[in-house]
Every structure is written in structure tokens, then in C-alpha cells.
Amino acid sequence: MSPGSSEQGNIDRIFTPEALAGGVHIVTGGAKGMGASHARRIVAAGGRVLLGDIDVAGVKSVADDLGDAAAAVELDVTDEDSWTAAVAAARELGDVRGLVNNAGIFGSGSVTDLDVDEFRQVHRVNVEGPLLGIRAAAPALRDAGGGSIVNVSSIAGMIGIADRAAYVTTKWAVRGLTRSAAIDLGHWGIRVNSIHPGRIETDFIAGLGASILPNQVIRTPGQPADISALVVFLLSAASRFSTGAEYVVDGGRYVGEYRPAPERP
Ligand SMILES: NC(=O)c1ccc[n+]([C@@H]2O[C@H](COP(=O)([O-])OP(=O)(O)OC[C@H]3O[C@@H](n4cnc5c(N)ncnc54)[C@H](O)[C@@H]3O)[C@@H](O)[C@H]2O)c1
């Protein structure tokens, strides 16, 4: 590829405010935390965003702050009709080029003591939600000439964690969904990748203890913006050769055995 080719131009655009220009991107769970951060970064990269959440007031407030490039709808990711309305609203904003399946809930308990109803609900939101989103949005992405889907898994989708069986199993399932969708939708020019954040400072981790975990090589807490940068990359043409892939951003928490280094001067 020559430096002046249009393909190179697409890749270079990741470094400009036009990385996502001309496209509409749907972000679920956009009322706060990482979803709101992803929406802000998408708009900063020149994209438009349709935010969905069960927290209607919260998601409308985020969209209002973002101005004309954003709109908000009530969206329960477990509800197919809700998805149909959200994709229709996104189409009204323009060519739908991206979907970020970010909404998620937590479930605790070991395999022997977890609440089975809660287990099912966590699977409904964290696994069935992204599946329904992909089914609803894929035709819109196809009609736009292709696009990118980012499924939010977790570092919990890479390992087992004590007393987290419901959450861990959903985040592993997101990996399988991602690979299946990457294969099933490739012929429509749709790429599908998963991301695996480590502990990120949002309301989601309130009550879970320290932000910086003992094995974390980078000794600063993860912030939503650290993940949003990756989301913008995966939505953009700069990642055009990636599909079915898994991106870990965890401050090196699971790189290997950690040995504390002497304090830096
Ligand atoms: N914070 C972390 O440390 C961390 C780490 C790894 C992965 N994750 C994942 O990142 C994603 C976002 O997490 P966060 O930390 O921003 O959480 P958060 O709790 O701050 O925000 C989650 C949002 O999802 C919305 N939501 C919940 N159920 C919904 C539903 N049925 N339909 C639509 N919206 C719904 C909530 O209203 C909320 O606005 C989740 O999938 C989570 O599992 C978080």
C-alpha cells in the first residue's frame, strides 16, 4: 500500500478528528460509565451516536451534552421491540456503521451458592442483549456498506474468578458470540471484535474494593477513556484487518506473576 493511497488515508484518519466521520454508531448502556465515555470519544472522532439505556433520564442527559451529533432512546437490550425502535432511530441519523454492545450487569456468588434466577438475568442482559443487538443492527450496517461491532466482554471472559460464576460465564460467552458473528457477518463487510477491560473506575465496581489490583503491572487505576480509545480504533477503518479478535486492556493485570518493583525515584 503506498502512503498516498486511499486505504492508507483511511488508516491515517484514526489520528484525526475525522476517524469516524460520516457514520452513526449505536452505544448501549450509554447513560454513564464507559458507555457515556465511548459516546463522547465517538463524537470527538467525528462520528454521530445513538445512545440507548434503560436509564432514560441519564442517557438523554449525556446525549444533550453532546449536541447535534447525538441522540438518545430508551433501550432495554433484552427486548427485541426496543432494539427495532433503536435501530430505526439510528437510521434516521444517517448511515449506521457501528454498534457497541456495552450494557452489562454484574452477578455474584459461587457455583454452589449463586441465585439461579439472577444467573439467568445476567445472561439475558450480558449475552442475549448483544445477540439481539447484532441481529437488529446488522442489516443497517450491511445497508451502509459494512461496519464494525464491538462487544464488551471483560478480563472476566479470560479467566475464572472466585464467587463470580454468573458474570464470568456471560463474559466468556461474549467471546463465542463475537467469533460466531465475525464469521456469519463477514460477507456483509461487518467486522466483530471483543474487548476485555480490566478494572475500570465506574459505578460498576463500587463495593468491589481497590481499583488497582495486586497483580496489575501498571500501578494506576484504569479509566473509561482508556477503553474508549480502543473502541474508536475498532469502529474505525484503521482496524479494517481485525475481526473475531479479542483485545485485553487491563494494565497488565493478567500478564503473569507480579513482583513489586522498588519505588521509582
Ligand atoms: N467497570 C469495570 O471494571 C468493567 C470491567 C470489565 C468489563 N466491564 C463491562 O463494561 C460494560 C460497561 O460497564 P461500566 O463499568 O460502564 O458499567 P456502569 O454500571 O457504569 O454502566 C452500565 C450501564 O448499562 C445500563 N444497563 C444495564 N442494564 C441494561 C439493559 N438491560 N439495557 C440497556 N442498558 C442497561 C445501565 O443503566 C448503565 O447505564 C459492562 O458490560 C461491564 O460488564 C466493566
Q: How many CB atoms lie within 10 A of CB 114?
A: 18
Which residue's alpha carbon is nearest to atom 25 within ligand 1? 29
User: What separation in Å is there between the alpha carbon of 29 and the centre of ligand 1?
Assistant: 6
Which of these, 69, 215, 216, 246, lies nearest to 151 by C-alpha position?
Answer: 246
Q: Is pLDDT of 2 > 90?
A: no
- Quickly state the pLDDT bin for 260 (edges 50, 70, 90): confident
- What contacts 258, CB < 8 A, 6 or more positions away? 214, 215, 216, 217
Q: Is pLDDT of 193 > 90?
A: yes
Q: How many CB atoms lie within 10 A of CB 6?
A: 8
Closest-lying ligand 1 atom to the alpha carbon of residue 200: 3
CB 227 within 8 A of CB 200: yes
Kindly report, residue by residue over 101-160, the tens digit of the pLDDT: 999 999 999 999 999 999 999 999 999 999 999 999 999 999 999 999 999 999 999 999
Exactly one of 167, 247, 254, 258 is catalytic; name it: 167
Q: Is pLDDT of 189 > 90?
A: yes
User: What separation in Å is there between the alpha carbon of 15 and the centre of ligand 1?
Assistant: 28
User: What separation in Å is there between the alpha carbon of 42 and the centre of ligand 1?
Assistant: 18
Helix axes 224-235, 33-44, angle to 10 degrees: 50
Q: Is pLDDT of 1 > 50?
A: no
- Residues 195-222 have a mean pLDDT of 91
Backbone angles phi, psi at 254, to 5 degrees: -115, 25
Region of 212 on the Ramachandran plot (φ > 0 left; ψ -120 to 50 alpha; else beta) = beta
Q: Which residue has the higher pLDDT, 70 or 17?
A: 70
Which residue's alpha carbon is nearest to atom 7 within ligand 1? 154
Backbone angles phi, psi at 78, to 5 degrees: -90, 0
User: What separation in Å is there between the alpha carbon of 216 and the centre of ligand 1?
Assistant: 22
- Residues 237-246 have a mean pLDDT of 96
Whether residue 167 lies in the annotated active site: yes
Distance CA 25, CA 23 (A): 6
Query: For the stretch 143-163, what's the b/e string if a residue is b when 16 or more beta carbons lie within 10 angstroms of its beta carbon?
Result: ebebbbbbbbbbbbbbeeeee
pLDDT, mean over the chain: 93
pLDDT for the residue 214 = 84
Distance CA 254, CA 9 (A): 35
- The beta-strand segments (E) located in the chain are 24-28, 48-53, 70-74, 96-101, 147-152, 190-197, 246-249
Ligand 1 binding pocket mutation candidate from 40, 53, 161 (most atoms within 8 A of CB): 53
Closest-lying ligand 1 atom to the alpha carbon of residue 224: 16
Which residue's alpha carbon is nearest to atom 23 within ligand 1? 29
Q: Is pLDDT of 265 > 60?
A: no
List all residues whose CB is within 6 A of at least one atom of ligand 1.
28-29, 31-35, 53-55, 75-78, 102-105, 125, 152, 154, 197, 199-200, 202-205
- Residues 172-179 have a mean pLDDT of 98
DSSP of 2-23, one letter per residue?
A: -TTSHHHHHHHGGGSTTTTTT-
Closest-lying ligand 1 atom to the alpha carbon of residue 77: 32
The overall pTM is greater than 0.85: yes
User: What separation in Å is there between the alpha carbon of 1 and the centre of ligand 1?
Assistant: 39
The position carrying cell 474494593 is: 209
Which of these, 90, 92, 77, lies nearest to 29 by C-alpha position?
Answer: 77
Domains and CATH numbers, the chain: 5-249 (3.40.50.720)
